[in-house]
């Protein structure tokens, strides 16, 4: 946010404009003459460099005055700060990073992208729409681990999200462990409402905790788990290395929709299927609207003073004008 702390000083700009107008009017009405033999040959002479520089001196003075007036008005640039006085909602984003997330069955602006790239686009938009809630991130593949604990620093969450890589947690899918780690993170900070948004495109085939036991624990703790099955059904295209370079290969992707429905049902949340980018966005928008809490938020702006730059530049230009007008371009009456 940009503002002037003392905007009344900007009225001095009208004084400067009035002075320029009156000076030009006086110059145009000046009838002073001088008699010379002839001036016709002077038109053929090229002005020297210093003569051309002298034409810019009045503009230098005006510019310096404008900068000094801006300095008096105290320009400031501010950052919006938020102080949350209530607990809000605790949200854990559990994101699948298994190898199947490389499937190229999503499109953005007619460009084919991976499932993970589509998830990043939609989840980032979801994060930035929340206000006052704590959001954490758990990623899973063959293993599950905390990528980011609960925080209200949404810019940091978006930064971490952009840097997620497929296969970072292993090639398989440990849905039970992902729920277990998410529940642990939700215990870190108490809240009236705790939810997990579990997104996967596979079937639980790894980990120490079964998804059935994890769902029962979540239900006992009254934690809602919204589940999202992402990707098209059946076979999906993958870009792989072949004998003749990169080539597309269709592979079967098995999503356990029944398990996701059961998890969502036991925790009194919702199950969704997302086959394209638009549908995925609508799902997160729906969750965003469902999981709202009344939060008392105090906003203020922390401003940084910008006037020193205007003041220094204005003084330098004015000093240059004074020095030049009293040395090289000194006029004798």
Mean local confidence (pLDDT), 198-224? 94
For residues 101-136, one letter each, b for 16 or more C-beta atoms within 10 angstroms of the residue's C-beta and e for the rest, the string is bbbebbeeeeeebbbbbbbbbbbbebbeebebbbbb
Span(s) in the chain for CATH 3.40.50.410: 86-295
Grade residue 77 by pLDDT with cuts at 50, 70 and 90. Answer: confident
Residues 6+ apart with CB under 8 A from 66: 13, 16, 314
Q: Where are the beta strands (DSSP E) in 141-215?
A: 144-151, 193-200
CATH superfamily of 86-295: von Willebrand factor, type A domain (3.40.50.410)
Phi/psi for 152 (5° steps) reads -105, 10
Sign of the CA dihedral running 274, 275, 277, 278: negative
Mean local confidence (pLDDT), 96-111? 91
Q: State both tokens at 119.
A: 């998830």
Report yes or no: 141 and 171 within 8 Å, Cβ to Cβ. yes
Q: State both tokens at 129.
A: 């729409």
Residue 259, phi-psi category: left (phi > 0), alpha (psi -120 to 50), beta (remainder): alpha
Residues 6+ apart with CB under 8 A from 179: 94, 196, 198, 209, 211, 214, 215, 217, 218, 225, 263
Report pLDDT for 16. 85
Tens of pLDDT along 32-76? 555 555 555 555 666 666 667 777 788 888 899 999 999 999 998
Phi/psi for 109 (5° steps) reads 55, 45
DSSP labels for 195-257?
EEEEEESS----SSS-HHHHHHHHHHTT-EEEEEEES-SEEEEEEEEETTEEEEEEEEE---H
Q: Which of 274, 171, 164 is CA-nearest to residue 227? A: 274
Residues 6+ apart with CB under 8 A from 57: 321, 324, 325, 329
Q: Which of 119, 161, 164 is CA-nearest to residue 136? A: 161
Grade residue 271 by pLDDT with cuts at 50, 70 and 90. Answer: very high
Residue 109 three-state SS: coil
Q: How many CB atoms lie within 10 A of CB 21?
A: 10
Q: Which of 26, 119, 130 is CA-nearest to residue 82? A: 130
Report yes or no: 267 and 225 within 8 Å, Cβ to Cβ. yes
Grade residue 270 by pLDDT with cuts at 50, 70 and 90. Answer: very high
Q: State both tokens at 171.
A: 């090639």
Report pLDDT for 302. 74
Question: How large is the angle between the packed helices 57-72 and 307-325, nearest 10 degrees?
Answer: 150
Q: Is the pTM of this model over 0.75?
A: no
Mean local confidence (pLDDT), 161-187? 94
Residue 136 three-state SS: strand
Q: How many CB atoms lie within 10 A of CB 280?
A: 24
Grade residue 212 by pLDDT with cuts at 50, 70 and 90. Answer: very high
């Amino acid at each position: 946010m940009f503002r002037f702390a003392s905007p009344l000083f900007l009225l001095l700009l009208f004084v400067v404009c009035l002075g320029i107008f009156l000076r030009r009017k006086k110059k145009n009405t000046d009838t002073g003459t001088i008699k010379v033999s002839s001036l016709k040959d002077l038109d053929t002479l090229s002005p020297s460099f210093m003569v051309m520089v002298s034409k810019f001196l009045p503009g230098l003075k005006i510019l310096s005055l404008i900068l000094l007036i801006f300095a008096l008005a105290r320009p400031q640039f501010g950052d919006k700060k938020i102080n949350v006085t209530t607990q809000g909602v605790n949200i854990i984003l559990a994101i699948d990073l298994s190898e199947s997330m490389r499937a190229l069955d999503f499109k953005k602006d007619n460009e084919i992208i991976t499932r993970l790239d589509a998830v990043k686009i939609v989840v980032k938009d979801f994060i930035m729409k929340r206000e006052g809630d704590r959001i954490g991130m758990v990623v899973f593949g063959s293993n599950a681990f905390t990528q980011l604990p609960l925080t209200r620093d949404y810019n940091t969450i978006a930064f971490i999200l952009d840097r997620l890589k497929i296969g970072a947690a292993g090639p398989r899918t440990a849905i039970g462990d992902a729920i277990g780690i998410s529940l642990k993170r939700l215990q870190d900070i108490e809240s009236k409402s705790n939810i997990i948004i579990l997104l996967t495109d596979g079937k639980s085939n790894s980990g120490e905790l079964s998804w059935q036991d994890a769902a029962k624990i979540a239900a006992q703790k009254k934690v809602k788990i919204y589940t999202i099955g992402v990707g098209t059904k059946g076979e999906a295209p993958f870009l792989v290395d072949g004998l003749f370079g990169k080539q597309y290969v269709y592979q079967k992707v098995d999503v356990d929709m029944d398990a996701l429905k059961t998890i969502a049902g036991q925790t009194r949340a919702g199950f969704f299927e997302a086959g394209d980018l638009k549908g995925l966005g609508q799902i997160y928008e729906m969750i965003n609207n469902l999981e709202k809490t009344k939060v008392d938020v105090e906003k203020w702006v922390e401003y940084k003073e910008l006037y020193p730059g205007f003041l220094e530049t204005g003084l330098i230009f004015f000093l240059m004008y004074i020095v030049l007008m009293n040395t090289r371009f000194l006029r004798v009456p």
